[in-house]
């Protein structure tokens, strides 16, 4: 039951006044990722997160061409806004588009396209304000700028930095799936936070090499997303996905080996996958996507599940976890 869980810790992002809970809700699934989501279910999912103590919510215009922001904004209406933090992203603008679109199962006549100009960032910021029912964006992230570093710095970052100076944005950061490109972008400005998906998990600790040390040295807080690597660390069966594509046999076997060690200690793999990244000193929050209240409840339960220190020792002893990785 939720009442038996410890309260979620709040952590400040960089040197800003913005704080996030140790577990956050990723709202991409609420926009009909792969399959449609009933609006009432989306609202109930946000409520379940709120009732469970989650006070950090992440979205983006890209998710369902604005649908995620609209549903999150509606669900948060009436809640004490100064007690929660919302992150959204700039680097894409919405354009007219008919028919199906990418991964999103609820077409709304719009699609997103990259635009890292300052004008595009300002347009995206204003439209996000409207969809989220707010005059202030707590966390603004430059979205997927891997192949657009120069324009993202001269355009998007310059705009967001000015909005932060003007008090309309609380924290400025990046939202990416990479390590090298993310590290390069972080060296090009005064960033507060980096949302990095899938690069610090039980299967992929590549962020340890350069990115996380850089974040620590520059005072950039990390939001660790994609901790299940798009599914394989939730259910490592044949056919499971890793980074949104079918995982190869060797990767599935490695995930299953990790799951066996977890089972020996009576710990669900999902619990270990959620709690492992949180031990790194750069990480402020673990972001978990959910599309139903039941998935939120499971994430909260797994995040609070007791894990013996011996589990982490056994993973390292068997070569299934980097020796350098901090553990809870």
Domain boundaries of the chain, sorted by first residue: 20-317
**63 assigned to active site:** yes
**89 assigned to active site:** yes
pLDDT at 4: 60
Nearest to 183 by CA among 157, 160, 210, 202: 210
Active-site position among 15, 34, 56, 89: 89
* CATH class as words, domain 20-317: alpha beta
What's the rounded mean pLDDT across residues 167-177? 98
**316 assigned to active site:** no
Percent of the chain exceeding pLDDT 70 equals 98
| pLDDT band, very low/low/confident/very high, at 3 (cuts 50, 70, 90) | very low
Active-site position among 63, 157, 200, 212: 63
- Strands 283-289 and 221-225 come out as parallel
Query: 222 pairs with which residues across the strands?
Result: 194, 283
Chain centroid offset of residue 274 CA: 12
Query: Measured between alpha carbons, how far is 245 from 43 in angstroms, rounded to an integer?
Result: 29
Neighbours of 300 (CB within 10 A): 23
Neighbours of 12 (CB within 10 A): 14
DSSP state of 175: E
Query: Measured between alpha carbons, how far is 92 from 117 in angstroms, rounded to an integer?
Result: 9
The whole-model pTM stands at 0.96
Output phi, psi for 276, to 5 deg: -60, -50
pLDDT at 99: 84
Active-site position among 15, 34, 56, 58: 58
């Amino acid at each position: 039951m939720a009442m038996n869980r410890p309260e979620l810790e709040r952590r400040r992002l960089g040197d800003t006044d913005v704080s996030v809970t140790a577990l956050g809700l990723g709202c991409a699934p609420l926009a009909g990722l792969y399959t449609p989501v009933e609006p009432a279910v989306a609202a109930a999912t946000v409520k379940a997160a709120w009732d469970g103590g989650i006070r950090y919510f992440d979205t983006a215009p890209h998710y369902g061409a604005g649908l995620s922001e609209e549903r999150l904004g509606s669900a948060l209406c009436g809640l004490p806004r100064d007690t929660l933090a919302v992150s959204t992203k700039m680097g894409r603008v919405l354009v007219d588009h008919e028919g199906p679109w990418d991964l999103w199962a609820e077409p709304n006549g719009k699609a997103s396209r990259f635009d890292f100009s300052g004008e595009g960032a300002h347009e995206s910021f204003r439209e996000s304000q409207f969809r989220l029912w707010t005059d202030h964006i707590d966390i603004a992230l430059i979205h997927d700028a891997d192949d657009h570093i120069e324009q993202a710095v001269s355009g998007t970052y310059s705009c967001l930095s000015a909005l932060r100076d003007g008090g309309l944005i609380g924290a400025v950061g990046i939202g990416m799936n990479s390590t090298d490109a993310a590290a390069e972008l972080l060296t090009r400005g005064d960033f507060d936070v980096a949302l990095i998906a899938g690069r610090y998990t039980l299967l992929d600790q590549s962020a340890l090499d350069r990115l996380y040390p850089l974040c620590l040295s520059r005072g950039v807080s990390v939001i660790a997303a994609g901790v299940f690597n798009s599914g394989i660390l939730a259910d490592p069966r044949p056919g499971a996905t890793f980074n949104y594509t079918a995982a190869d046999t060797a990767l599935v076997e490695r995930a299953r080996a990790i799951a066996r060690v977890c089972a020996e200690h009576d710990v669900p793999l999902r619990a270990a996958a959620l709690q492992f990244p949180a031990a790194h000193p750069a990480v402020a929050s673990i972001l978990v996507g959910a599309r139903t209240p039941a998935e939120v409840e499971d994430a909260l339960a797994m995040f609070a599940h007791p894990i013996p220190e011996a589990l982490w020792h056994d993973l390292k002893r068997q070569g299934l976890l980097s020796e350098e990785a901090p553990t809870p």
